[in-house]
Amino acid sequence: MLLFLLVLAVAGISWFLTFTLRRYALTNSLIDIPNARSSHSIPTPRGGGVAIVMVFLGVLVVMPLLFGLPWAWMIALGGSGLLIAMVGFLDDHGHIAARWRLIAHFSAALWALFWLEGSLVLQLAGLSIDIVWVVYALAAFFLVWLLNLYNFMDGIDGLASIQAITTCLGGALIYWLLGHTEQITMLLVLAAAVAGFLYWNFPPARIFMGDAGSGFLGLVLGLFTVTATMVEPQLLWSWLILLGVFILDATWTLFRRLARGDKIYEAHRSHAYQYASRHYGAHLPVTLAVLAINIVWLLPWACAVALGYVDGLLGLVIAYVPLAVLAVRFKAGALEVAA
């Protein structure tokens, strides 16, 4: 009952804070003005993701007292998440050079990994890699990549919110199936915080998430992936499957742009979801399609891997094949042709 009431309160507070931030953005002209690289056509307030950050970090402080969660885990998540949110907030209000953002991203990743309690082992094709510095170096790069790709993928209404909610609820279901109920609480809290924001961000969006929110979500979901791997190594593959739409689209697009010699730090509209939204002339069909893919296709494969019915790497490949087909279909990473 306590968890149920907490989830309802978190969603409600997030809803109200997003409403307040929208009024603040309108009053202070914090408006995203469409340009040639935008996927939007209407000026829209930005920075609403701060509501997610404020609510989640506020609840995080009392989680060890209410549910007995480890303080070290709270310090890891709270410290790193706050740093990423602050950097994103400053970037939303001005501009921070890419090198300084990257330094902050790695600092946050290293801070979190330092405080996390547990053994991190990578299982690949039946082999276990437990060389500490190798595994933790890979984890740091993974966290930095995920928080950046989440920023890249936050380009149309509701997409980043839907991905976060489905990943959290899918992860909660997997933990419930495996009997690790103590891991579920934080997933439900984050899902509730994002749900309150989604009311205002659902197509057509009345406020955008902004770098503070998208980077924060990418980092937190990355840390959920790392801690899941500490609980049971095969869960790494389950979480990578749950995040499949974002990981494949962003990674595929990045490699194509790198191969072409593009400056990867420049804004663009060449992700598959962006091409798809232009093809259908709206954001809603794409956002709903991602919701359906996550629930109907990716979640069952993630559960199958978690329960040991399918090898992790094999399950990942099978789950990603249709996503790769869609990436090709919607020209992920292709050179944009001027209209």
DSSP letter string, 76-139: HHHHHHHHHHHHHHHHHHS---HHHHHHHHHHHHHHHHHH--S---EEETTEEE--HHHHHHHH
262 assigned to a ligand binding site? no
Give the C-alpha separation, 208 to 45, whole Å.
Answer: 6
Question: What's the count of helices (H) and strands (E) in the chain, helices before strands?
Answer: 14, 4
Q: Output DSSP code: residue 158.
A: T
151 assigned to a ligand binding site? yes
CB < 8 Å & 24+ apart, contacts of 63-68 = 63/185, 63/186, 63/189, 66/2, 66/6, 67/3, 67/182, 67/185, 68/182
Q: Output DSSP code: residue 182.
A: G
Among 22, 7, 14, which Cα is nearest to 216's?
14
Q: Output DSSP code: residue 32.
A: E
Please answer whether residues 236 and 295 qualify as being in contact, where contact means their C-beta atoms are separated by less than 8 angstroms. no
Give the C-alpha separation, 325 to 249, whole Å.
Answer: 11
Helix (H) or strand (E) holding 34: none
Say how many CA atoms lie within 13 Å of 197 toward its Cβ.
Answer: 33
Pairing assessment for the beta strands 127-129 and 44-45 based on DSSP bridges: unpaired
Binding positions: 151, 211
Binding positions for Mg(2+): 151, 211
